[in-house]
Amino acid sequence: MKFHIVSGGCGFVGRNMVKRLFSTTQDVIIFVDDLSVGWDPEQWLSEPKTSSSGNIFTYGEDARLIFIKDDIREVLRASLNDPLDYFSKLLNIEFSSLGKFFHFAAIVGGRAMIDGDPIKVALDLAIDSEFFYWISRNKPDNVLYPSSSAAYPIDLQTDKDAIALSESDINFAKMGQPDMTYGWTKLTGEFLSKIIAEHYGVKIVCIRPFSGYGEDQDLSYPVPAIAARAAKKENPFEVWGSGKQGRDFVHIDDVLDCTLLAMEKIHDGSAINIGQGRLTSFLELIDIFTDFAGYKPTIKPLLDKPVGVHSRYCNMDYVKERLGWEPKISIRDGMRRVYDTAVEKYVK
Ligand SMILES: NC(=O)c1ccc[n+]([C@@H]2O[C@H](COP(=O)([O-])OP(=O)(O)OC[C@H]3O[C@@H](n4cnc5c(N)ncnc54)[C@H](O)[C@@H]3O)[C@@H](O)[C@H]2O)c1
């Protein structure tokens, strides 16, 4: 029996990937999360719980979904020398091979955390370095390292000089400043991914998702928060900063499609953008959601809130050419899904 590991499997991207893997493979999926931020699987898995013992819970009729509630670093340390033997004994399943490793465990937290507690975010360096060490020793079939658009030099994302960020704008030989400790961590992770591929022969790809969003995202992120407030017809409508700052919003289903394709086709530790290739300001986002809600509010800018860089969006030409991939879900369709969920959750 083969198994895949998803660290941070109860976070936004992780839980969507766990569900996707469960429906598209017959292998065992072991997902590890300390639930510091992630949601308990009872909240988002529709499969029934089939057993629980200590911090290990299995789900699904065939018990192929296995949740370990723990710090990923503890699990990596415990399984470092012989993961097949470790997980076989721990879970009482005869595993024959280690499949893919999706590494989503991280301290992310949104703009308030990135600017407000940068040293907490820097703990990602500790999580990532143990992850890379484990990967170098155990060489899974295929590895995903989620970097971020925050790895790009911030001087390319200002009010006056913003450009559509291309993969080649990060060049380790000629570097600009990434965005805070979060961006530095991700850039370090990209560098280690290259090393892992070149020196240890592991198949690994980095993704730089721009602003991933979806129906089941935490309210600390702007898209679901704005949708919820529009659903409740907030007026005046608060926006952080002037609202003219923009991001490249991409639906989680598109992020997963592109990620899985990239894992099949890119193995040298290099990075790809995942976005729509389109800048949408927060004012436009408010416009879309309040249009769905059928009203036009007065905008109330909150100028003391952190807003990050002014304009962050990507150039998707390389992905189109290299992977033949383009996003399928338009901003309006994706935001409609988020809005409908917000109405279900907060209004009905
Ligand atoms: N969501 C996006 O649009 C986006 C964009 C760029 C990059 N990323 C990257 O993708 C990854 C996942 O992001 P997300 O949006 O799902 O974040 P998230 O905060 O929703 O998920 C991270 C998960 O990791 C868990 N976690 C944190 N520390 C842990 C530890 N030591 N051990 C075990 N679990 C731990 C948290 O409980 C949480 O469930 C991150 O690396 C993030 O930087 C996401």
Query: What digits encode the pLDDT tens for the residues 260-315?
Result: 999 999 999 999 999 999 999 999 999 999 999 999 999 999 999 988 899 999 99
For residue 241, what is the DSSP state? B
Residues 293 and 230: beta-carbon distance below 8 Å: yes
Examine the pLDDT at 175 and tell me if it is beyond 90: no
Examine the pLDDT at 202 and tell me if it is beyond 90: yes
Examine the pLDDT at 11 and tell me if it is beyond 90: yes
Tell whether ligand 1 has an atom less than 6 A from the beta carbon of residue 211: yes
Which of 165-179, 189-203, 240-254, 262-276 shows the lowest mean pLDDT across its residues? 165-179
| CA 81 – CA 137 distance, rounded (Å) | 8
Task: Please state the rounded mean pLDDT for residues 125-148.
Answer: 98
**Can you give the C-alpha Rg of the chain in angstroms?**
20
Tell whether ligand 1 has an atom less than 6 A from the beta carbon of residue 250: no
Query: Nearest 5°: phi and psi at 8?
Result: 65, 30
Task: Please state the rounded mean pLDDT for residues 126-143.
Answer: 98
CA angle 237, 243, 246 (to 5 degrees): 135
Closest CA to 178 of 314, 13, 316, 308: 308
Examine the pLDDT at 166 and tell me if it is beyond 90: yes
| CA 327 – CA 320 distance, rounded (Å) | 10
pTM given for the model: 0.96
Domain spanning 217-248+278-346, CATH architecture: Alpha-Beta Complex (3.90)
- Written as six digits, the tokens of 34 are 């300390």
Distance from Cα 101 to the centre of ligand 1, integer Å: 14
Tell whether ligand 1 has an atom less than 6 A from the beta carbon of residue 107: yes
Distance from Cα 61 to the centre of ligand 1, integer Å: 28
Which pLDDT belongs to residue 347? 85
Tell whether ligand 1 has an atom less than 6 A from the beta carbon of residue 18: no
Distance from Cα 107 to the centre of ligand 1, integer Å: 6
| Mean of pLDDT over the chain | 96
Tell whether ligand 1 has an atom less than 6 A from the beta carbon of residue 71: yes
Which pLDDT belongs to residue 73? 98
Q: Please name the residue whose Cα sits nearest to atom 9 of ligand 1.
A: 146
Residues 142 and 197: beta-carbon distance below 8 Å: no
Assigned superfamily of 2-212+250-274:
NAD(P)-binding Rossmann-like Domain (3.40.50.720)
Task: Please state the rounded mean pLDDT for residues 199-221.
Answer: 95
Examine the pLDDT at 345 and tell me if it is beyond 80: yes
Task: Please state the rounded mean pLDDT for residues 224-252.
Answer: 96
Task: Please state the rounded mean pLDDT for residues 168-185.
Answer: 90
| CA 212 – CA 348 distance, rounded (Å) | 26
| CA 72 – CA 147 distance, rounded (Å) | 18
Task: Please state the rounded mean pLDDT for residues 112-122.
Answer: 92
Ligand 1 nearest atom to the CA of residue 217, by list position: 20
- The pick from 6, 32, 37 for probing ligand 1's pocket by mutation, whose C-beta has the most ligand atoms within 8 angstroms, reads 37
For residue 142, what is the DSSP state? E
Q: Please name the residue whose Cα sits nearest to atom 31 of ligand 1.
A: 71
Give the start-to-end residue ranges of the domains of the chain: 2-212+250-274, 217-248+278-346
Which pLDDT belongs to residue 173? 82
Q: Please name the residue whose Cα sits nearest to atom 34 of ligand 1.
A: 33
| CA 260 – CA 23 distance, rounded (Å) | 14
- The pick from 6, 13, 111, 143 for probing ligand 1's pocket by mutation, whose C-beta has the most ligand atoms within 8 angstroms, reads 13
Residues 206 and 271: beta-carbon distance below 8 Å: yes
Ligand 1 nearest atom to the CA of residue 32, by list position: 33
Tell whether ligand 1 has an atom less than 6 A from the beta carbon of residue 249: no
Type of residue numbered 41: P
Distance from Cα 189 to the centre of ligand 1, integer Å: 14
Which pLDDT belongs to residue 348? 76
Query: Nearest 5°: phi and psi at 336?
Result: -60, -40
Q: Please give the share of the chain, as a percent, with pLDDT higher than 70.
A: 100
